[in-house]
C-alpha cells in the first residue's frame, strides 16, 4: 500500500513546472486568440465565441474532421488486428526474437518527415520501386498526385508501415508474459487454438492493447508531418486531415482567431475520445 505523504509534491514540482511552462502559457495564448480578432499591428478586438461558432458551422471543418475520423478509423481497423496477428506468429525465444524486434522498431525511429520523403521516393511513378511496379509491371494506373483514392491508399499503407510495429511490440510483450502453464493447461483441457486465443491470450493482452489503441488513436488523430510531406493534403483537399488544415489556416492564411478556436475544439475532441476509450476499456477491469 502507498503511504500518504504531502511532501511527495516536492518530487513532482520540477515536472510540474516544466510541463506547465510548455502547456499552460501556449494554451493561454491560444485561448486568448480564440476570442479575439486581429488586423495586425498587435491590435486585437474582442470577438466572443464567434470563432467557435463559425468553425463548428463551417463545411470545411466538418470535411476535415470527417476525413480525420475516416483516417483514424481505417488505420485502427488495419493496424490492431494485423499487429496482433504478427505478434501471435512471432517466435517466443532465441536470437530471432531480437532480430525481429529491432527490425520492427526501426520505422518508428525515423524522423516523421523522412518517413514522408521516403514514401514519396518509394511511390514516385517511373522512379520509385512501388510506383514502377504498380504502373509498369502490374499495369495499374497509380498516381498519387492526381488520384485521391491512390493518395488515400498510400497514406494508409504508409501509416501501417510506420506504426503497426507499435501494436506488434505491445501485444508481444503481453504474450510473453503469459506463463507456460496456461498453454499446458489449455492443451490438457483440449482447447482449440481459437479458444486459447480467446480465453488466454486476448485477456492477457488487454492492458497492453488498451495502451496500443490509445496511443494509436492519439497519434493518428494528431498526425501532420508524414501526410503533409507525402501528399501536401492533396490532390485537392482529399487528404487534408485536421492538423494539415489547421496549419494552413494558422500559418498559411494567418487567421489566428479561427485557427486558435479550431485548435481548442480539436484538442477537446482528442481529449474526449481518449477519455471515452480509456474509461470504456477500464470498466471491465473494475468489475
Partner 1 sequence: MQKRHIVPVLYILFLMLPIYWLVAMSFKTTGEILSGFSLFPQTWTLDNYRTIFTDPTWYWGYINSILYVSINTVISMVVALPAAYAFSRYNFLGDKHLFFWLLTNRMAPAAVFALPFFQLYSAVGLFDTHIAVALAHCLFNIPLAVWILEGFMQSIPKELDETAYVDGYSFPRFFITIFVPTIKAGVGVAAFFCFMFSWVELLLAKTLTAVAAKPIAATMTKTASSAGYELGLLAAAGTLTIIPGAIVIYFVRNYIARGFAMGRV
Partner 2 sequence: MAKITLSNLRHSYYPAPEKRDDYALKNIDLDWEDGGAYALLGPSGCGKTTLLNIISGLLTPSEGRILFDGKDVTDWTPGRRNIAQVFQFPVIYDTMTVYDNLAFPLRNRGVDPAHIDRRVQEIARLLEVENMLDRRASGLSPDNKQKLSMGRGLVRDDVNVVMFDEPLTVIDPHLKWKLRSKLKELHQRVKHTMIYVTHDQTEALTFADQVVVMDEGEIVQIGTPVDLFARPAHTFVGHFIGSPGMNVLPCELRNRGAFFQGSPVPLEGPVRADASGRAEIGIRPEFVTISDAGLDAVVVKVSDVGRHNVVQAMVGDTKLAAIIEGDVPHKGESVKLSFRQDQTRLYCDGWLATEI
Stretch 131-190 residues interacting with partner 1 (CB under 8 A):
132, 136, 161, 164-166, 168-170, 172-174, 176-177
Q: Are 159 and 112 in contact (CB under 8 A)?
A: no
Distance CA 240, CA 159 (A): 15
Measured from the CB of residue 224, what is the shortest distance to partner 1 in angstroms? 5
The yes or no reply on residue 95 touching partner 2 (CB under 8 A) is no
For partner 2, which is the closer residue by CB, 48 or 203? 203
256 binds, among partner 2, partner 1, none (CB under 5 to 8 A by kind): partner 1
Measured from the CB of residue 181, what is the shortest distance to partner 1 in angstroms? 17
Measured from the CB of residue 39, what is the shortest distance to partner 1 in angstroms? 17
Which positions from 248 to 287 touch partner 2 by CB under 8 A, shown as an x/- string?
Answer: ---------------------------------------x
Distance CA 51, CA 57 (A): 10
117 binds, among partner 1, partner 2, none (CB under 5 to 8 A by kind): partner 1
Handedness of CA 149, 150, 155, 159 (dihedral sign): positive
The yes or no reply on residue 257 touching partner 1 (CB under 8 A) is no
Measured from the CB of residue 281, what is the shortest distance to partner 1 in angstroms? 13
Query: Which one among 242, 255, 257, 261 touches partner 1, defined by CB under 8 A?
Result: 242
Q: What backbone torsions phi and psi does residue 36 show, to the nearest 5 degrees?
A: -130, 165
Query: Which one among 95, 98, 192, 283 touches partner 2, defined by CB under 8 A?
Result: 192
Distance CA 125, CA 112 (A): 22
The yes or no reply on residue 267 touching partner 1 (CB under 8 A) is yes
Measured from the CB of residue 180, what is the shortest distance to partner 2 in angstroms? 9
Element (H, E) at 37: strand 36-38
Contacts of 215 by beta carbon, 8 Å cutoff, 6+ apart: 166
The yes or no reply on residue 207 touching partner 1 (CB under 8 A) is yes
Query: Which one among 49, 105, 140, 185 touches partner 1, defined by CB under 8 A?
Result: 105
Q: Are 188 and 145 in contact (CB under 8 A)?
A: no
CB atoms within 10 A of CB 17: 10
Query: Which one among 4, 188, 283, 286 touches partner 2, defined by CB under 8 A?
Result: 188
Distance CA 265, CA 273 (A): 12
Stretch 17-46 residues interacting with partner 1 (CB under 8 A):
18-19, 21-23, 25-27, 29-30
Long-range Cβ pairs for the range 42-51 (8 Å, 24+): 47/257, 51/257, 51/258, 51/260, 51/261
Reduced 3-state DSSP string for 226-276: HHHHHHCCCCCCCCCCHHHHHHHHHHHCCCHHHHHHHHHHHHHHHHHHHHH
For partner 1, which is the closer residue by CB, 54 or 135? 135
The yes or no reply on residue 109 touching partner 2 (CB under 8 A) is no
Chain residues that interact with partner 2, rule: CB under 8 A: 179, 181-182, 184-185, 187-192, 195, 199-200, 203, 287
Amino acid at each position: 500500500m502507498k503511504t500518504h505523504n504531502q511532501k511527495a509534491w516536492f518530487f513532482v514540482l520540477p515536472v510540474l513546472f516544466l510541463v506547465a511552462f510548455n502547456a499552460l502559457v501556449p494554451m493561454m495564448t491560444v485561448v486568448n486568440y480564440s476570442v479575439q480578432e486581429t488586423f495586425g499591428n498587435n491590435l486585437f478586438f474582442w470577438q466572443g465565441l464567434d470563432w467557435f461558432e463559425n468553425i463548428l458551422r463551417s463545411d470545411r471543418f466538418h470535411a476535415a474532421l470527417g476525413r480525420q475520423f475516416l483516417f483514424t478509423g481505417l488505420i485502427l481497423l488495419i493496424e490492431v488486428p494485423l499487429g496482433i496477428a504478427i505478434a501471435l506468429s512471432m517466435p517466443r525465444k532465441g536470437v530471432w526474437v531480437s532480430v525481429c524486434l529491432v527490425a520492427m522498431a526501426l520505422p518508428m525511429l525515423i524522423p516523421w518527415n523522412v518517413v514522408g520523403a521516403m514514401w514519396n521516393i518509394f511511390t514516385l511513378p517511373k522512379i520509385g520501386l512501388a510506383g514502377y511496379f504498380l504502373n509498369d509491371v502490374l499495369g495499374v494506373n497509380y498516381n498519387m498526385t492526381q488520384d485521391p483514392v491512390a493518395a488515400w491508399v498510400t497514406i494508409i499503407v504508409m501509416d501501417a508501415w510506420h506504426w503497426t510495429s507499435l501494436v506488434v511490440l505491445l501485444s508481444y510483450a503481453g504474450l510473453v508474459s503469459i506463463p507456460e502453464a496456461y498453454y499446458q493447461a489449455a492443451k490438457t483441457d483440449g482447447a482449440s487454438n481459437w479458444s486459447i486465443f480467446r480465453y488466454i491470450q486476448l485477456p492477457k493482452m488487454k492492458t497492453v492493447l488498451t495502451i496500443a489503441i490509445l496511443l494509436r488513436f492519439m497519434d493518428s488523430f494528431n498526425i501532420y508531418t508524414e501526410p503533409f510531406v507525402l501528399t501536401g493534403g492533396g490532390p485537392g483537399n482529399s487528404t487534408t486531415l485536421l492538423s494539415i488544415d489547421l496549419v494552413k489556416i494558422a500559418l498559411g492564411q494567418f487567421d489566428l482567431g479561427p485557427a486558435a478556436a479550431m485548435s481548442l475544439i480539436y484538442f477537446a475532441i482528442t481529449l474526449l475520445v481518449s477519455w471515452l476509450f480509456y474509461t470504456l476499456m477500464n470498466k471491465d477491469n473494475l468489475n
